[in-house]
Amino acid sequence: MSQKIYEALRWASSFLREQKRDENAGELLLRYVVQMTRSELLANMHEQLTEQQQQTFTDMVNRHGEGVPIQHMIGQEEFYGRNFAVNGDVLIPRPETEELIWHTLESLSRHFHQKKEMQMADIGTGSGAIAITMKLERPHLTVYASDLSEKALNTAKQNSEALHADIEFLHGDLLGPFIERGIKLDIVLSNPPYIPLTDRKELSPVVVDHEPELALFGGEDGLDIYRRLCEQLPHVLNPQALIGFEIGAGQGKAVSALLQGAFPQAVVEVKNDINGKDRMVFAKI
């Protein structure tokens, strides 16, 4: 006998709590299975699930209990109000990265005043979330996105087509493809791998077993990619430029020092996220 919607939700939240997973995941999975919005689900709490829906839902909740990310099962994640396809080849976009975009958009008009023709790059684009969102929010930008992973670039290309964002994709290591082609940039954004290898043991299996290592770990202290970017940035930036990095909590001082070392004249600023953690560093040149 299949359950009613409210019974299925109650079972899922207590099961996930026991497994030390987010108990709200049950609602997201059930909405996906029955194809309802949140308000529709709440209005239909006493509806009976079909046998097929019940089976699918139970399987998905069990898999999440074992550590499979919800986003990989439903194949997407919302970012800045748009749906992005995600899979095991890319990092699942996080809310903190939405704040990186928000602060960048705030800075653009102030820093560049009336400048219209601007070149922007998203380095290590993954799903394409940063590049695509910036292009759709500010259509006058020329936007490039690069990644070392061809599989990640394929996912980003699919997202750019689905969301009708005109992006130029470059395959290669960090800013290497831009240096080779002589491309000059006004804005460089990046959410690079910043987790120290020593923190590996503390990560949830949902992250460490299912998201690409290339997108997670930044060497022994987590700062390897920032060091390399700061070496390369002087070769690609225009005289007036904006750099925005997402960082791991607690890395603000170290990443600021790297940027200030590369650009002594720059105004470097650490921004906290909504939870009060240092999560972004900006340099205005």
44 is in an annotated binding site: no
In 64-216, beta strands by DSSP E? 76-79, 82-85, 118-123, 141-147, 167-171, 185-190
Phi, psi of 71 (to 5 degrees): -65, -30
193 is in an annotated binding site: yes
pLDDT higher than 60, residue 208: no
Give the integer Cα–Cα distance in Å for 190 and 203: 22
pLDDT higher than 70, residue 198: no
139 is in an annotated binding site: no
What pLDDT shows up at residue 157? 97
97 is in an annotated binding site: no
126 is in an annotated binding site: yes
244 is in an annotated binding site: no
pLDDT, tens digit (0-9, with 9 covering 90-100), for 135-188: 999 999 999 999 988 988 999 999 999 999 999 999 998 899 999 999 999 999
pLDDT higher than 70, residue 199: no
Q: Which two tokens stand for residue 57?
A: 């839902």
128 is in an annotated binding site: yes
238 is in an annotated binding site: no
113 - beta bridge partners?
Answer: none
Phi, psi of 278 (to 5 degrees): -65, 120
pLDDT, tens digit (0-9, with 9 covering 90-100), for 27-64: 989 998 999 988 999 899 999 999 999 999 999 999 88
219 is in an annotated binding site: no
Q: What percent of the chain has pLDDT over 90?
A: 50
Average pLDDT score over the chain: 86
Q: Which two tokens stand for residue 228?
A: 């390399």
